[in-house]
Amino acid sequence: MFLLGHNLPDTKLVRIALTSFYGISHHISSRLLARLQIHQTCLVNELTEPQITALSAYLSSPNTTPAPPPTPLNTPTPPPFSLVASSSSSSSSSPKTIKVLYEAQRWIDKRPDPLSDLKIETELRKELLANIAHLRQIGTYRGKRHAGGFPVRGQRTKTNGHTAGRLNKIDRRGFSTYAGPTDSPILSMLSRSRI
Amino acid sequence: MRPSLVLLQRSTWKGPYFTAFPNLADALKNGTPIYTRARSCTIVPNFVGIKFMVHNGIDYVPVPITEEMVGYKLGEFSVTRKKFTYKASRNR
């Protein structure tokens, strides 16, 4: 199945196939499936049409897609401390433990949603290049190492450092391997109509 | 912009590491450069506009501070390594 110019193999798990997008890790992928209520063991060819539409709608503009409202079952309710205090002698868990657990749950709920300000593909690559350009422009050591094709984080250069020589350039290419079916305009048109 | 700086580096209660320069106000007024060896000193917002001469192990490199440099260290702008150049041997 083609989705936004990426070929997702039909027999793969959606969770795995989505990681072919630049900027989608395994974690982000499973969070995204959870948000769209697609189960984790779903294969690509098992996706229904509304699910595909939802996926492509999110991936084409992750920032503007509104988050679904929280499920009512998941909203935290403060533990009834009076009840907890009265029944502490009978139950095994003390009120202190319950309070700690409650605080932990609150902390988990307050964590920022990784899907709310996700950058993928071109946007993420542009950000990467902009960060390096900023380092170069203000004249830091790190910027100079990037421009010179050397390792940036203090690695040795007597031997090794060939990856840095391959990647770090004055104008670093933000696009890694850009050959393949995504190049052809016909296929990108096909993917837009999701055939 | 640099979340790792905040997340992985230093306890927040300590604040950023910086050295106190007694001649800071004077340097801002008269434009006299501050000679320093404190390469690990974080650039704080009231350094902006001052010219530092930061030691690189041999001599002092001029580092005029701009607004974008805030949050980086002084030593990041004073290179300690000599660039490799190939020297052709004369007597062969």
Which residue among A131, A137, A140 places its CB closest to the CB of B76?
Answer: A140
> Taking Cα atoms as reference points, which of B55, B1, B78 lies closest to residue A133?
B1
**What is d(CA A40, CA A46) in angstroms, rounded to the nearest whole number?**
12
Cβ contact (<8 Å) for B1 and A137? no
**Residue A96's pLDDT is what?**
78
> What is the residue extent of each domain of chain A?
2-60, 121-174
pTM, rounded to two decimals: 0.70
**Residue B61's pLDDT is what?**
92
**What is d(CA B36, CA B17) in angstroms, rounded to the nearest whole number?**
15
Could you tell me the end-to-end alpha-carbon distance of chain B, in angstroms, rounded to an integer? 54
Checking if the pLDDT of B52 tops 60, the result is yes
CATH superfamily assigned to domain A121-174:
Ribosomal protein S13/S18, C-terminal domain (4.10.910.10)
Highest mean pLDDT among A119-123, A182-186, B78-82: B78-82
**Residue A80's pLDDT is what?**
60
- CATH T-level topology, domain A2-60: Helicase, Ruva Protein; domain 3 (1.10.8)
**Residue A16's pLDDT is what?**
92
Cβ contact (<8 Å) for B1 and A131? yes
Higher pLDDT, A64 or A50: A50
Q: Is A149 left (phi over 0), alpha (psi -120 to 50) or beta?
A: left
Best of A127, A134, A141, A145 to substitute, by most chain B Cβ atoms within 10 angstroms, is A141
Minimal C-alpha gap between B1 and chain A (Å): 8
In single-letter form, the type of residue at position A59 comes to L
Give A78-113 pLDDT, tens digit per residue. Answer: 656 555 555 544 455 677 777 787 777 777 777 777
What pLDDT band is residue A128 in, cutting at 50, 70 and 90? confident
Q: Please give the sequence-ordered ranges of beta strands (E in DSSP) within A5-120, or none if there are none.
A: 6-7
Rounded average pLDDT over A143-161: 89
What pLDDT band is residue A121 in, cutting at 50, 70 and 90? confident
Give A24-38 pLDDT, tens digit per residue. Answer: 999 999 989 988 889
**Residue A184's pLDDT is what?**
45
Structure token pair of residue B87: 């020297």
Residues of B in contact with A141 (CB under 8 A): 75-77, 79
What pLDDT band is residue A167 in, cutting at 50, 70 and 90? confident
Domains of chain B and CATH, by start: 21-77 (3.30.860.10)
Checking if the pLDDT of A188 tops 50, the result is no
**Residue B63's pLDDT is what?**
92
Residues of B in contact with A131 (CB under 8 A): 1
Contacts of B37 (CB under 8 A, 6+ apart): B54, B55
Inter-chain contacts counted by CB atoms under 8 A, chains A and B: 18
In A, minimum Cα distance to B84 occurs at A148
Establish if A138 touches chain B: CB-CB under 8 angstroms: yes
Minimal C-alpha gap between B21 and chain A (Å): 22
Cβ contact (<8 Å) for B1 and A141? no
